[in-house]
Amino acid sequence: MAIGNWVSRNIDELIAFRRDLHENPELLYEVHRTAGKVADALRAAGVDEVVEGLGKTGVVGVIHGQSNTSGRMIGLRADMDALPIIESTGLDYTSKSPGKMHACGHDGHTTMLLGAAKYLAETRVFDGTVIVIFQPAEEGGAGAQAMIEDGLFDRWPCDEVYGMHNMPNLPLGHFTTAVGPNMGAVDMLDITITGKGGHAAAPQTAIDPFPALAGIIQAIHGMSARSVDPFEAHVVSLCAIEGGNAYNVIPQDLTLKGTVRTMNETVRDHVEKRLQDIVSSIASGHDCVGALTYTRSYPVLVNHEAETHFAVAAAGTVAGADNVSLDMTPTLGGEDFAFMLNKVPGCMINIGNGPSANLHHPEYNFNDDAIGWGSSYWVTLVHQRLAATEI
């Protein structure tokens, strides 16, 4: 049966699965229910091997093709976690866990890959092995890295790996991606400026950390504008400030939190070094002690050239070449699939979610009409990359 017909026959079940996940969102590594449902569905579909608990709560399914003369293996990856957001969609399957919400469409990603896994396990018209990877903790927990460290690619040495994310306001049935770096590295800043607390009416007896803080904020913005090549995309955003709680007390210390996004490792190193210099030297110029903890989180997401063309070819077969673009505008948003692409050649593609609220917005919802497009893309990619040999 062609994948299109299979989707038409199974779409109600897939939508019900997606809506059940939507109603029961789970955060980070706590995706126990979701992972359990995925593993049960894979087993029920006759997937050859189902491994749970990889990278704490990740799930891997292994599907053998009707032959394996190629000896090749490809990985397809979806993410399962939700976000700490209070949902305001008003849907009849709205989150039953207030403060948790599938606001990034990972309920849809999981469902599209599950649909493809079911079809592939049922039909097996391919030559080689497919690994379906369902990861926890994409939203800030580096679940992809946890699965890799737990042996994902040692146990299943994939030749290629592919990911997919929905994109609001890209029309349904459209796909977009780009070769090379197209999502930013994500780093965290924690700055502490320590002075000496005292009476607000006698500042000469204290060391006020506020002037140092003001200088540091200005210098960071100046650094960004003046010391980084204007053609290098990057951003430093200061997002939280803490310290002091009275009208008449100079606080002992102040803290500042923020994020740095960069598109290549050289700029990343440069920005980290400049920030360290700025924080310590400006603080000491004000007789304070400045400390910066710079935490590297997700790396730059870099799509490999050949695999990106394979992904685009598969999407073009499903959606028509005119509906697939290879000129996606890069974003400084992060995506932990970058960890997988640093290990195995592959590509992250974006699938149209149609008109919708943006990702991470309390009114966002994954579009069920994208499920068929997404499952068909996965299956077509497998059929093209692991083309069945004539029997």
Please, what is the minimum distance in Å from the beta carbon of residue 101 to Zn ion?
11
Task: Please identify, among the stretches 98-106, 172-180, 235-243, 250-258, the one whose residues bind Zn ion according to the rule CB under 5 A.
Answer: 98-106
Segment interacting with Zn ion, rule: CB under 5 A, options 62-70, 101-109, 211-219, 262-270: 101-109
Stretch that binds Zn ion, among 67-75, 97-105, 339-347, 368-376 (CB under 5 A): 97-105
Smallest gap from residue 296 Cβ to Zn ion (A): 19
First-to-final CA distance of the chain = 18
**Token pair listed for 256:** 């500042």
For Zn ion, the nearest residue by Cβ is 104
The answer to the question of residue 78 lying near Zn ion (CB under 5 A) is: no
CA–CA–CA angle 133, 151, 39 (5° rounding): 35
Torsion over CA: 258, 30, 17, 75 (sign): positive
104 belongs to the binding site for Zn ion (CB under 5 A): yes
* 41 or 78: CB nearest Zn ion: 78
Cα distance between residue 147 and residue 155, in whole Å: 11
Q: How many CB atoms lie within 10 A of CB 327?
A: 8
Q: Which is nearer to Zn ion, 7 or 103 (CB)?
A: 103
* Contact flag: residue 332 with Zn ion (CB under 5 A): no
CA distance 137 to 146: 9
Instruction: In angstroms, give the least distance from the CB of 104 to Zn ion.
Output: 3
Nearest to 17 by CA among 40, 51, 46: 40
Closest approach, Cβ 211 to Zn ion, in A, equals 38
Give 178 or 348: the residue with its C-beta nearer to Zn ion.
348
Minimum CB separation from Zn ion for residue 102, in Å? 10
Say if residues 109 and 163 touch (Cβ distance below 8 Å).
no
Helix or strand (DSSP H, E) at 63 = strand 58-64
Q: Which stretch binds Zn ion (CB under 5 A): 103-111, 155-163, 201-209, 261-269?
A: 103-111
- Closer by beta carbon to Zn ion, 104 or else 371: 104
Cα–Cα distance for residue pair 190/257, rounded to 1 Å: 5
In terms of CB distance, is 159 or 187 closer to Zn ion? Answer: 187
By residue count, the chain amounts to 391
Q: Tell me the three state secondary structure of residue 105.
A: coil
- Longest pairwise C-alpha distance within the chain: 90
The dihedrals phi and psi of 364, each to the nearest 5 degrees, come to: -65, 145
Size of the site for Zn ion (CB under 5 A): 1
Given the rule CB under 5 A, which of 12-20, 61-69, 99-107, 152-160 is the region that contacts Zn ion? 99-107
Distance, in Å, from the CA atom of 295 to the CA atom of 276, rounded to the nearest integer, reads 12
- The verdict on 186 binding Zn ion (CB under 5 A) reads no
Q: Which is nearer to Zn ion, 165 or 286 (CB)?
A: 165
Q: By CB under 5 A, what part of segment 112-141 binds Zn ion?
A: none
**Minimum gap (Å) between residue 311 Cβ and Zn ion:** 18
Q: How far is the CB of 138 from Zn ion (least distance, A)?
A: 6
Smallest gap, in angstroms, from Cβ of residue 55 to Zn ion? Answer: 17
153, 147 Cβ separation under 8 angstroms:
no
Separation of CA 258 from chain center: 19
Nearest distance in Å: CB 335, Zn ion: 7
Q: How is residue 249 written in tokens?
A: 């007390």
Q: Which two structure tokens, joined as six digits, stand for 83? A: 């976000």
List of residues contacting Zn ion (CB under 5 A): 104
